[in-house]
Copies of this chain bind each other. A is one copy, B any other.
Amino acid sequence: MKIAVVGLGYWGPNLVRNFQALPDVKRVMGIDKDETRLVKAKQRFPDLETSACLDDALRDDDVVAVALATPVSSHYPLGKKVLESGKHLWVEKPFTAKVSEAESLIELAERKGLKIIVDHTFIYTGAVRKMKEIVDSGELGEVYYFDSVRVNLGLFQHDVNVVWDLAPHDLSIMDHLLRERPKSVSAVGSCHVGNDLENVAYLTVFFENNLIAHFHVNWLAPVKIRKILIGGSKSMIVFDDMENSEKVKIYDKGVEVKTKEGVYEMLVQYRTGDMRSPKLDQTEALSIATAHFLDCVKHNKRPITDGISGLNVVRILEAAEKSIKQNGKEIKLHYHD
């Protein structure tokens, strides 16, 4: 079977490399309007079939799936074509530029009996898979908050702000780990350089039962920070992606309320036990994701990061954008079910 990869800029070649490595994949086709990119890709991947036109892939019966590594604005129109031509769809994050677009692609795929996978790559890393294990085990007790920081001196996207660029990583991790339905969003941000796109932003996501999630994304930080804190009643997780090893630490820290000096204050009795840092699988996340996608296609399974999880992220991004324009005004999230 054959896979087509559309967009051979920065990320596309990684998809080509990983799809080529899969035993089930006979051939990979690379598609890009930019001729020079096609040449470069051909040099790096001699076996790569190339074309400037998506239709060549859609007409090709051997092509079972098409991967879109193109700007988010193109995800809906191209994704629609892909699904209508009866091919399974791989889409880079974020899934789409609008909730409505995500919903119609999901609806279309269901009608056609096709799979959609959104490339929330982090979900397939050893670190997140280990955290998922821990959260699902109930070891954290009641989850109180999810706090994420993703900042560095980084690329400025021309077409999306820092929220659409960086937050999808952490929003998808939150959605995957907590599996809770958010009620509303409050977000703020600011723009300091060139265009009108925010380069620093802070998102808050509200849930039932006082569960709260917060995200700090920044393209203009002097140091690189990639850190997630998850606080629970029984224990807490720190995920520091900048650590060479020991990226995930689980703190056996529980909270017990106790009064001290009579009425004057309550003391959070931290029942602190050991900390442990579990060994993490080092397999490249993208190779796991690509293999998982083919497995879902072949055996008609639902991808872990399917259209719904892509939609969950876009729903928050869209609300965050509205909220930022109103300096933090709470925006309710709507669900059609």
A21 nearest CB across to chain B (Å):
15
A19 within 8 A of B: no
**What are 12 pairs between A and B in contact, CB < 8 Å?**
A142-B192, A153-B270, A157-B266, A184-B327, A186-B328, A188-B214, A191-B210, A220-B268, A222-B236, A222-B251, A276-B276, A329-B329
Are the C-beta atoms of B193 and A268 separated by less than 8 Å? yes
Are the C-beta atoms of A264 and B158 separated by less than 8 Å? yes
Are the C-beta atoms of B223 and A251 separated by less than 8 Å? yes
Distance A329 CA – B323 CA, assembled complex (angstroms): 9
A230 nearest CB across to chain B (Å):
9
Distance A193 CA – B154 CA, assembled complex (angstroms): 38
Are the C-beta atoms of B229 and A221 separated by less than 8 Å? yes
Chain B contacts of A222 at CB under 8 A? 229, 231, 236-238, 251, 253
Q: Which of A51-59, A194-202, A290-298 is the interface stretch?
A: A194-202
How many chain copies does the complex carry? 4
A164 within 8 A of B: no
A22 within 8 A of B: no
A261 within 8 A of B: yes
Q: How many residues of A contact B (CB 8 A)?
A: 79
Distance A184 CA – B142 CA, assembled complex (angstroms): 34
Are the C-beta atoms of B220 and A145 separated by less than 8 Å? yes
From residue 267 to 310 of chain A, which have CB atoms closer than 8 A to chain B?
A: 267-268, 270, 272-279
A115 within 8 A of B: no
Distance A231 CA – B193 CA, assembled complex (angstroms): 12
From residue 120 to 176 of chain A, which have CB atoms closer than 8 A to chain B?
A: 142, 144-145, 147, 149, 151, 153-158
A215 nearest CB across to chain B (Å):
10
Distance A211 CA – B190 CA, assembled complex (angstroms): 8
Are the C-beta atoms of B265 and A157 separated by less than 8 Å? yes
Are the C-beta atoms of A268 and B192 separated by less than 8 Å? no
Top 4 closest A-B pairs, CB basis? Answer: A186-B328, A222-B236, A222-B251, A328-B328
A197 nearest CB across to chain B (Å):
9
The interface bits of chain A over 208-224 (1 if a CB of B lies within 8 angstroms of the residue's CB, else 0) are 00111010101111111
Our pick among B206, B211, B274, B278 for the contact of A277 (Cβ within 8 Å) is B274
Chain B contacts of A270 at CB under 8 A? 153
Distance A270 CA – B199 CA, assembled complex (angstroms): 14
Determine the residue in chain B with the shortest Cβ distance to A154: B268
The interface bits of chain A over 296-337 (1 if a CB of B lies within 8 angstroms of the residue's CB, else 0) are 000000000000000000000000000100111110000000
Contact A274/B265 with A202-B204, A222-B229, A328-B329 known, Cβ cut-off 8 Å: no
Chain B contacts of A188 at CB under 8 A? 186, 204, 206, 212, 214, 328
Are the C-beta atoms of B277 and A275 separated by less than 8 Å? yes
A1 within 8 A of B: no
Determine the residue in chain B with the shortest Cβ distance to A183: B327
Determine the residue in chain B with the shortest Cβ distance to A165: B265
Distance A328 CA – B326 CA, assembled complex (angstroms): 10
